[in-house]
Amino acid sequence: MRRDKFLPKKYKPVFHKHIDEIQIAKGIPKGYADAMKIVSLVVPFRANNYVVEELIDWDAIPTDPIFQLTFPQPGMIPWIDHERLKDLLRKDPTGKAASLAARKIQMRMNPHPAGQVEMNVPVEDKLILRGMQHKYNETVLFFPTQGQTCHAYCTYCFRWAQFAGIDDLKFASSTIDPLIQYLNRHPEVTDVLITGGDPLVMRTKILKQYITPLLNERPGNLSTIRIGTKALAYWPYRFLTDRDADDLIRLFEEIVTAGFHFSLMSHFSHPRELETNAVKSAIGRILTTGATIRCQAPLIRHVNDDPDVWAAMWKAQTGLGMIPYYMFVERDTGPKSYFKMPLVEAYRIFTKAYNQVSGLCRTVRGPSMSATAGKVIIEGIAEINNEKVILLKFLQGRDPDWVNQIFFARYDEHASWLDELKPAFGDRRFFFENRLEEIKAEKAKFEDVASF
């Protein structure tokens, strides 16, 4: 469908204060809505009119997957914390005491997993580059200040700390200059991922202030520019009828014309996000610029814990010209207990979905854990020397020598993250653990400088 068939649609954000009116309009039981408001003190909440009007099936709540994906649910915090917050709100209607208690709960929820602060943030000449992360040799993540929010928040998001109103937990840079200097100093870097939040909440003229200098100066060995975004799923009108949508499309064309590989790293968590005419038209418009769109999402209980859902999503993505890229394991942060899946179950779901699709969809990789040591994929389950084991492989590693290395863990039906697994065959440690401790010690030298 051509984009000029769409009338401009005004963006209307939905916040905590709107839950009551949604409860009345959509028939959510009042007790359920009250519980959602309490959970939203801990789990950042934001939605918009597109999500509410076009993606959620209100006849299927509370089990509707998009409702689970975007609205805070009662089971996302421990019941004892829920009751404590409820009691504080009853005693102090201003919410100040409850907000302080909520902040303490948030700090128990591992706000920056996998060494994002301690190990990923570069320190150069005793200067903390707080708007960047550099975990793998080839790729640097950059966090523009104005892009540290989203059109709507995924309740599982591992970057929830960016939205929690705690400035000390944010990654953000208001200028591109430190990145350019860093790239010139680090010739090993070929890829920059502009991320958030969601950089595409920014107006195009602001986004250009970050991207145009990269095109003009071509620092270091930069050859690929990526933008991580959920905009296609949550606000496709960003590419269609927003007042600067045409400017955004032209910017994408400029990146490609300048000779860079340009990829939108798009997050689609459920096939329903691919069904509207708006998203289909937006995808088609982006692809005309020469950009590629790669699709990724975590496996999330209550949302997409079904192989048929993943198979349908990969098929739809491929049919629309996009590239299935990753199935992630839900990270050990935020309300993980609500969403997590055992690793062996994640492997089963991935395999059953993978069995249903053609080779064009099998560009997808997973289930993949973005752990402290690196990106670790579950390769299989086998019996070796009468021991049942889980086969694991590094797709990326803090030490590049780990990449593509296979290792084995004892079979465990309950483990949901790498650090819950034990080495197989009687080994006391995984092969990478000694070196990882050395890397941690090297990073710790900067603790006095890089204190967050």
**In the 3-class helix/strand/coil scheme, how is the chain assigned residue by residue?**
CCHHHCCCCCCCEECHHHHHHHHHHHCCCHHHHHHHHHHCCCCCCCEEHHHHHHHCCHHHCCCCHHHHHHCCCHHHCCHHHHHHHHHHHHHCCCCHHHHHHHHHHHHCCCCCCCCHHHHHCCEECCEECCCEEEEECCEEEECEHHHCCCCCCCCCCCCHHHHCCCHHHCCCECCCHHHHHHHHHCCCCCEEEECCCCHHHCCHHHHHHHHHHHHHHCCCCCCEEEEEECHHHHCHHHHCCCCCHHHHHHHHHHHHHCCCEEEEEEECCCHHHHCCHHHHHHHHHHHCCCCEEEEEEEECCCCCCCHHHHHHHHHHHHHCCCEEEEEEECCCCCCHHHHCCCHHHHHHHHHHHHCCCCHHHCCCEEEEEECCCEEEEEEEEEEECCEEEEEEEEEEECCHHHCCCEEEEECCCCCCCHHHCCECCCCCCCCCHHHHHHHHHHHHCCCCCCCC
Identify the band that residue 157 occupies on the pLDDT scale cut at 50, 70 and 90. Answer: confident
Q: State residue 281 phi and psi, 5-degree precision.
A: -65, -40
Q: What is the CA radius of gyration of the chain?
A: 22
CA–CA distance, 383 with 387 (Å, rounded to integer): 5
Structure tokens at 116: 């994002």
CA distance 40 to 17: 10
Lowest pLDDT segment from 79-93, 152-166, 368-382, 404-418: 152-166
Residue 114 tokens read as: 């996998």
Measured CA distances, 452 to 120, 372, 448 (Å): 13, 18, 10
CB 87 within 8 A of CB 148: no
Residue 83 exposure: Cα atoms within 13 Å on the Cβ side: 3
* Alpha carbon distance 145, 207 (integer Å): 10
Task: Give the total residue count for the chain.
Answer: 452
pLDDT at 4: 63
Report, as an integer, the average pLDDT of 79-91.
Answer: 95
The CATH class given to the 116-444 domain equals alpha beta
Q: Which two tokens stand for residue 375?
A: 């990106």
Please compute the mean of the pLDDT values over residues 52-73 and round it to a whole number.
96
- Tell me how far apart the alpha carbons of residues 17 and 152 are, in angstroms, rounded to a whole number: 15
pLDDT bucket at 321, cuts 50 / 70 / 90 = very high
Is it the case that residue 175 has pLDDT exceeding 70? yes
Kind of pairing between the strands at 191-194 and 224-229: parallel
Comparing CA positions, the residue from 154, 68, 71 lying closest to residue 328 is 154
Domain ranges for the chain, please list them.
12-107, 116-444
Inform me whether the pLDDT recorded for 311 exceeds 60: yes
104-121 mean pLDDT: 82
Q: Which pLDDT value is given to residue 7?
A: 79
Lowest model confidence (mean pLDDT) among 1-10, 225-234, 242-251:
1-10
CA atoms within 13 A on the CB side of 231: 29
Q: Are 15 and 45 in contact (CB under 8 A)?
A: yes
Average pLDDT estimate for 420-436: 97
**How far apart (Å, rounded) are the C-alpha atoms in residues 349 and 353?**
6
Phi, psi angles (nearest 5°) of residue 205: -65, -30
- Would you say residue 448 has pLDDT above 60? no
pLDDT level of residue 446 (50, 70, 90 thresholds): low
Largest CA distance in the chain: 64
Region 205-217: what's the mean pLDDT? Answer: 97
Residue 170, amino acid: K
Would you say residue 2 has pLDDT above 60?
A: no
Question: Would you say 323 and 295 are in contact if contact means Cβ atoms under 8 Å apart?
Answer: yes
Tokens encoding 47? 């939605």
Confidence band of 1 (pLDDT split at 50, 70, 90)? very low
Report the pLDDT averaged over residues 278-301. 98
CB atoms within 10 A of CB 284: 15
- 207 neighbors 251 (Cβ within 8 angstroms): yes
Given this model, what pLDDT does residue 166 score? 63
- So what's the pLDDT on residue 451? 39
Residue 452, pLDDT above cutoff 70: no
**pLDDT given at position 3:** 62
The model's pTM:
0.94
Q: Is 70 exceeded by the pLDDT of residue 50?
A: yes
Say if residue 161's pLDDT is above 50: yes
Of all residues in the chain, the percent with pLDDT exceeding 90 is 81
Which two structure tokens, joined as six digits, stand for 217?
Answer: 């100066």
pLDDT confidence band for 168 (50 / 70 / 90): low
Q: What pLDDT is stored for residue 66 in this prediction? A: 98
Q: Is residue 449's pLDDT more than 80?
A: no
Given a cut of 70, is residue 114 above it in pLDDT? no
pLDDT confidence band for 207 (50 / 70 / 90): very high
Q: Are 407 and 374 in contact (CB under 8 A)?
A: no
